[in-house]
Amino acid sequence: MNNMKKLIIALSIAFCVSSAGLTAPVHVNDLRSKFLSNSAIIYEINIRTFNAQDSNGNGIIDFDEGEESGNFLNAIANLDELQAKGVNAIHILPITPVGKMKALGTAGSLYAASSFNSLNPQLKSDKTMLTIEEQARKFIQEAHDRGIAVIVDVPACGSYDLFMQRPELFVKDKSGKAVIPADWTDVRLLNAGNEVQINKDVLNLYKEFVDYMMDLGVDGIRADVAHCKPAKFWKELIEYSRKRDPQFLWLAESSNSWKDPVSEYAVYTPYDKLLQAGFDGYYGSYFNMKDWKTSKELFNQLNLDRSLTKKLGQSKSVIGSFTTHDELSPVLINGKKYSEMIMWLNSTLPINAYYVDGFDTGDNYIYFWANKKAPKTFTDDEYYFAHRGKIDIFNFSRRPGGGDKELSADFKLANQFKKYASTLNSKGKFIQLKTNNPSVFAYAVSDTKESFIVIGNMNFTSDNEADVKIPGFKGSEDVIVIKTMTTPISSKGKMSVRLEPGEIQVLVLNSFPIK
């Protein structure tokens, strides 16, 4: 049996053993520790579509024909699949009720919250006597039983419906009208105050949300557009949650490349101030990789993120935000190779892996019904509003999925490898390797016994050749191939590679530490 097979089998056995058990262990929230050690594998889902039953295959849920949209109970059926793929955390898009006035889409945007202390009735199954809270708790408990932590999204704004009910919660412009942030026409900007004085009414609204989520068993919160609220607001809210659960995770939707407020009437809090306020991590700018041409751009972002803990004096981390619900499907940007590169970067870089539902099967999120007039609507919008190439968050639509079994198998292997890589990252060191081609990146992680090397071509239209310098490498060491199209040529002090467009290679150097 060759070394590659041995390693893959070992990874699979370790994964299966960690997942096995006749009885589910009692859940203890350790999500924050996982995140700060870069070992979280986070999968973003929209409950409304996660297990939607589109039996006629038209992409829309036709309730009149007995079809069922995603809900807390039918979503449970997909958890075994996520567990089998190595996912250990889910980020659930907002589960708050959605506004129906001045809405976007026939079901309403998930981010147009009409309440912060109740659950979206759209997510309730009518096939049981359980209340919606009991259904939500059951879903969360079932996730916990499979070793999957749960992060829930808190929307940044309120719906027009909420503004009409409680106008005192919102920012007004000079003419006294509620402020529409950016081009989000279905929401209005909440008035969280400023660094001098925060708005206690909005803070209490968010405290209610935190209490509600923690009572349901949630392990952490992702804060939508976190930079549109003052750091002082977040500091008080995060400290409030940590008194109850020190392991409660806070993830900020924020980036070092975002510089502007969402409105001239909105505050703007930069990412580092949010981290200082108590957030455990943020998005970084990995979504910009689609525009990066050289390895320098990748390493600039990575080195910034790796310096955060030292710079801020607090443990911090980041997610691999290469693909999110706000980003185009990778297969539309640079094809399947881009998806493969994203999953292996997520698995080998010292970051937390992050994916959106449908990524692992190559969904392009092209809906043929998008932006057409609907025969039926549940809001005041008569059209199937959708963002081209992005997962639908506006309608009762099909379950995400592209059907690419090869990509799905690679996703599972990459997640298995991340467990090995995370262990090596925690006790070893990250090493940026030099290449003679600016479009080819290379890095290694090494401890005193072994190393792995990752090499990738950032050019998605042309082959690329490069020499990768490896300190102390003799060329005769045992190289185990985890992922590659063509095997590199080893020689003293280097590896020579020829990479296909967008190709990424992952190699293990058995019993060879890089100095």
Band the pLDDT of 11: cuts 50, 70, 90.
Answer: low
State both tokens at 433. Answer: 């390797």
Average pLDDT across the chain, whole number: 94
Choose which CATH entry (3.30.70.141, 2.70.150.10, 2.60.40.10, 3.20.20.80) describes domain 3-426. Answer: 3.20.20.80
User: Residue 246 phi/psi, 5° resolution?
Assistant: -60, -20
Distance between CA 83 and CA 76 in Å, rounded?
Answer: 11
The average pLDDT across 395-417 equals 96
pLDDT in tens, 170-203: 999 999 999 999 999 999 999 999 999 999 999 9
Element (H, E) at 440: strand 440-446
Check pLDDT > 70 for residue 10.
Answer: no
Ramachandran category for residue 217: left, alpha or beta (phi over 0 → left; psi -120 to 50 → alpha) = left
Neighbours of 264 (CB within 10 A): 9
The model's pLDDT over 217-259, given as tens digits with 9 standing for 90+, comes to 999 999 999 999 999 999 999 999 999 999 999 999 999 999 9
pLDDT at 448: 82
The two tokens of residue 181 are 């942030």
Q: Is 353 helix (H, G, I), strand (E, B) or coil?
A: strand
Short-list 507, 437, 495, 504, CA closest to 469 = 495
pLDDT at 465 > cutoff 90: yes
pLDDT of res. 17: 45
DSSP annotation string for 495-508: EEEEE-TT-EEEEE
What one-character DSSP code corresponds to residue 127?
A: S
pLDDT digits (tens, 9 = 90+) for 429-448: 999 999 999 999 999 999 88
- In tens, the pLDDT along 471-504 reads 999 988 889 999 988 889 999 999 999 999 999 9
Q: What is the mean pLDDT of residues 317-330?
A: 97
Helix axes 200-216, 231-242, angle to 10 degrees: 30
Q: Residues 6 or more apart from 21 whose CB is under 8 A from it?
A: none
Give the CA distances from residue 397 to residues 50, 64, 181, 391, in Å, rounded to whole numbers and listed in that order: 10, 14, 26, 10
Q: Considering just the CA atoms, what is the radius of gyration of the chain in Å?
A: 23
Token pair belonging to 321:
């935000």
Kindly tell me if the per-residue pLDDT of 7 is higher than 70.
Answer: no
End-to-end CA distance of the chain: 30
For the sheet containing 479-483, what is the strand order?
A: 429-432, 440-446, 451-457, 504-509, 479-483
What CATH number has the domain spanning 429-509? 2.60.40.1180
Residue 159: Cβ within 10 Å count? 27
Global pTM reads 0.94
pLDDT of residue 19: 47
Beta-carbon neighbour count of residue 103 at 10 Å?
25
Query: Token pair of 274, please?
Result: 């949010």
Residue 78 has pLDDT above 60, yes or no: yes
* CATH 2.60.40.1180 placement within the chain: 429-509
Each residue's pLDDT tens digit, 30-46: 999 999 999 999 999 99
As a whole number, mean pLDDT of residues 377-396 equals 98
Q: What's the pLDDT score for residue 20?
A: 46
DSSP code at position 44 = E
Where does 243-314 have alpha helices with state H? 271-276, 295-306, 308-312
Tens-place pLDDT, residues 120-166: 999 999 999 999 999 999 999 999 999 999 999 999 999 999 999 99
Q: What does the pLDDT read at residue 69?
A: 98
Report how far residue 354's alpha carbon sits from residue 323's, in angstroms, rounded to the nearest whole number. Answer: 8
What is the rounded distance in angstroms from the CA atom of residue 326 to the CA atom of residue 345?
Answer: 19
∠ CA 423-219-121 to the nearest 5 degrees?
140
Q: Write b or e for each residue in 325-349: b if 16 or more Cβ atoms lie within 10 A of its Cβ, otherwise e.
A: bebbbbbebbebbbbbbbbbbbbbb
Which residues make up the CATH 3.20.20.80 domain(s) of the chain? Answer: 3-426
2: tokens are 């060759």
Q: What's at 281, amino acid-wise?
A: G
Q: What angle do CA 326, 331, 333 make, to 5 degrees?
A: 70
Query: Looking at beta carbons, which pairs linking 75-79 to residues 24 or more positions away fall under 8 Å?
Result: 75/45, 75/47, 75/50, 75/51, 75/139, 76/138, 76/139, 76/142, 77/51, 78/50, 78/51, 79/142, 79/143, 79/146, 79/148
Give pLDDT, residue 15.
52
DSSP3 helix / strand / coil % (the chain, rounded to 5): 35, 20, 50
Q: Tokens in use for 259?
A: 């510089």
pLDDT at 269 over 70: yes
pLDDT the model gives residue 254: 97
pLDDT at residue 13, as a whole number? 45
Confidence of residue 422 (pLDDT cuts 50, 70, 90): confident
Decide if pLDDT at 286 tops 80: yes
What is the mean pLDDT of the segment spanning 335-344?
97
Q: At 487, is the secondary structure helix, strand, or coil? A: coil
Residue pair 405/333 in contact (Cβ under 8 Å)? The answer is: no
- Segment 92-114 shows an average pLDDT of 98
Buried b (16+ CB within 10 A) or exposed e, 422-433: bebbeebebbeb
Distance CA 189, CA 179 (A): 6
